[in-house]
Structure 1
Amino acid sequence: MPLEPSTPVDPRTPRADAQRNRDRILAEAAALVAEQGTQASLRDVARRAGVGLGTLYRHFPTREDLLEALLGRRFDHLAARADTLAATEPAERALTDWLYEFTLDAGAYQGLPATLMATLEDPESALYAGCLRMRQAGGRLLAAAQRDGLIRPDVTPLDVFALANALSWITDRAPTLTERRDHLFRLVLDGFRPRP
């Protein structure tokens, strides 16, 4: 009986068991990071996922690689959201809505604001490219509002990123201020507006 030719395996397609391990690691990492923040123990992630630490590191060589896998969709969503808002809202409203969403997302996990700020100086970080896309998207909204004379010309995308992260950091470090987040957000926006 002649042998049937085997179907070639795409080397980029992970084996089913490897994909299951990766999915379990991500699910447990998401739960643990939600509980303990971005500095959660990777050993605990592996233990909860039922895999060895070596398996975790095969999938995610660094903490930043794991965080990028968890946060990449958020970054992509915020970048796409900026384009949607730019196409459907007036410039100042688009910037305000996007910035508010960014502030909420940056505070999603304990320690995330500091982690995001650290990417600014580390182009080798797995988080760098996603953060850069997100910052560039916000920068386009900022530039449109500046062209309309609604935002001071000396405000840079880095200023916007740093201040949004600062708001997230405040509520991360002082949860009692969470109820004042909207007020603090409006104060930051007022600082962006041109002086009369």
Structure 2
Amino acid sequence: MSTPDNRETGGGRPQRADARTNRERILNVAEEVFGKGGRSASTEEVARLANVGIATVFRHFPTKAALLQAVLVQRFDRLREQAETLFHATDPGTAFFDFFSHLVTDAAGKIAIAEALLEAGGDKGGDAAQASDGLRRAVGALLEHAQRAGAVRDDVELPEVYALLVATSQASAHAHLEEEVRDRMLAVVFDGLAPVRARGRE
């Protein structure tokens, strides 16, 4: 990434330990605040809850858009790492479907942050796009692993599976689906991804 955690945003000098701690706290608080409040949330609220001055926030992140971009990078990187860990699970099918479910459940916060980023005049390019691509590749690896294990039909590829993931995530977030409805929606999607022989036995 162009803005690693141990360097000042926009500079090349390593950060002091207290500066790194402040940056991490600001990012974690911002993820929670904007994940819940979306476009209505503010950097002032982030500063207050992180127990730092607003000047400290803008010293690390020159603009609100820069802060939100960094939040998305952190979120995508964390999810990618989770997917990479699941790749080594003993049951590839369960790992894939559980992670798919997790992404859909997690989507509301991510979408709220992305909308706040656009509202702040930023975009989802740059580091956020690279981090998103990394997550997509990790999902693709889980998919291929599940297909090799016979848990997912072998005639689907990542583009259509990711389209299903995006569609179900958007539906879950914007329609404010109840958990029971969301689970039934996912059951329908997963039934469609199951090998034909598995569906025929049910």
TM-score, with normalisation over the residues of structure 1? Answer: 0.68
Give the CA deviation at 1:184.
1.0
What amino acid sits opposite 1:50 in the alignment? G
- 2:113 & 2:61 partners in 1: Cα distance? 18
What amino acid sits opposite 1:138 in the alignment? V
CA deviation map 1:79-105 (0-9, x unaligned): 233233222222211211221222222
**Corresponding position of 2:167:** 166
- 2:88 & 2:162 partners in 1: Cα distance? 21
Taking only aligned residues, the RMSD between alpha carbons, in angstroms, comes to 3.5
**Corresponding position of 1:119:** none
- 1:140 & 1:184 partners in 2: Cα distance? 24
Q: In the TM superposition, what are the counterparts of 1:3-22 in structure 2 within 5 Å?
A: 12-14=13-15, 22=23
**Structure 1 residue 51 and structure 2 residue 54: aligned?**
yes
CA deviation map 1:49-81 (0-9, x unaligned): 5325xx655533565542343344443333233
- 1:114 & 1:160 partners in 2: Cα distance? 23
Give the secondary structure class of the aligned counterpart of 1:107: helix
Structure 1, 92-101 or 70-79: larger mean CA deviation: 70-79
What amino acid sits opposite 2:196 in the alignment? R
8 A Cα contact 2:69 2:124, kept in partner: no
What amino acid sits opposite 1:94 in the alignment? A
CA deviation map 1:131-160 (0-9, x unaligned): 111111110111122234432334222333
Q: List runs of 5+ in structure 2 lacking aligned partners.
A: 1-11, 117-122, 198-202
**Corresponding position of 1:103:** 104
Give the CA deviation at 1:29.
2.2
8 A Cα contact 1:32 1:40, kept in partner: no
**Structure 1 residue 76 and structure 2 residue 64: aligned?**
no
State the identity %: 34
**Structure 1 residue 129 and structure 2 residue 121: aligned?**
no
- 1:114 & 1:159 partners in 2: Cα distance? 24
**Corresponding position of 1:90:** 91
**Corresponding position of 2:139:** 138
Structure 1, 132-141 or 104-113: larger mean CA deviation: 104-113
8 A Cα contact 1:36 1:110, kept in partner: no
8 A Cα contact 1:79 1:133, kept in partner: yes
- 1:88 & 1:58 partners in 2: Cα distance? 41
Greater Rg by CA: 1
TM-score, with normalisation over the residues of structure 2? Answer: 0.66
- 1:86 & 1:30 partners in 2: Cα distance? 26
CA deviation map 1:144-195 (0-9, x unaligned): 2223443233422233333223222222212243331111111111111233
Structure 1, 184-193 or 156-165: larger mean CA deviation: 156-165
